[in-house]
């Protein structure tokens, strides 16, 4: 059994604030850098916790409001086939949620983005989504600004 990751060594405890799309006292949102998946966001807990159940109920509720707001915005802006939500933390045991717009043409669909590719990357369609991302990011930021931290 390995020792738990200490906050001093945790990459999610020491983010670069310049990368934040949005933040409040308890959460921050970034756009993840995952080749082939431009519409990939993360909601990250600011306190160093590994599990959702470690949070007070008010933070749990606010987290799900953030995740749902990003999902809803991706659905509205990009019309993906599906939006994947995941909270794994197996590699970095710091609570964070992945929100990923998926398309039936993407290289891994219907498998998870971390599974082996199912087909070659459709460069034209991928470029079309990438071109929309400045507008999508602005829409995500605007939607998140409307939320109020209940804690």
Residue 151 lies in a domain: no
Prediction pTM value: 0.92
Write the pLDDT tens digit of every residue in 77-100: 999 999 999 999 888 889 999 999
Which residue pairs from 71-74 have beta carbons closer than 8 angstroms and sit at least 24 positions apart in sequence? 71/99, 72/143, 73/136, 73/139, 73/140, 73/143, 74/39, 74/41, 74/99, 74/101, 74/136, 74/140
Residue 1 domain-assigned (yes or no): no
pLDDT in tens, 40-76: 999 999 999 999 999 999 999 999 999 999 999 999 9
Question: Among all chains, which residue has been given the structure tokens 């991302």?
Answer: 133
The string of pLDDT tens digits covering residues 38-48 is 999 999 999 99
* Residue 20 belongs to a domain: yes
Query: Is residue 32 assigned to a domain?
Result: yes
Residue 27 lies in a domain: yes
Residue 2 lies in a domain: no
Domain residue limits at 91: 9-145
Counting the structural domains of the chain, the total is 1
- We report the CATH number of the domain holding residue 50 as 3.30.428.10
Distant-in-sequence contacts of 78-87, Cβ < 8 A, 24+ apart:
78/39, 78/129, 78/132, 78/136, 80/39, 81/109, 82/109, 82/110, 84/112, 84/113, 86/112, 87/52
Q: Is the pLDDT reported for residue 149 higher than 80?
A: no
């Amino acid at each position: 059994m390995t020792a738990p990751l200490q906050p001093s060594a945790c990459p999610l405890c020491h983010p670069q604030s310049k990368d934040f799309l949005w933040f409040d006292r308890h959460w921050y949102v970034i756009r993840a850098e995952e080749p082939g998946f431009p519409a990939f966001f993360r909601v990250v807990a600011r306190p160093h916790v590994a599990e959702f159940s470690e949070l007070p109920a008010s933070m749990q509720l606010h987290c799900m409001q953030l995740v749902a707001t990003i999902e809803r915005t991706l659905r509205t802006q990009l019309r993906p086939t599906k939006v994947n939500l995941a909270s794994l933390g197996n590699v970095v045991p710091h609570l964070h949620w992945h929100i990923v717009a998926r398309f039936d043409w993407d290289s891994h669909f219907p498998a998870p983005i971390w599974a082996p590719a199912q087909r070659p990357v459709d460069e034209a369609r991928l470029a079309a989504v990438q071109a929309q991302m400045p507008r999508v990011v602005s829409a995500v930021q605007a939607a998140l600004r409307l939320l109020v931290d209940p804690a």
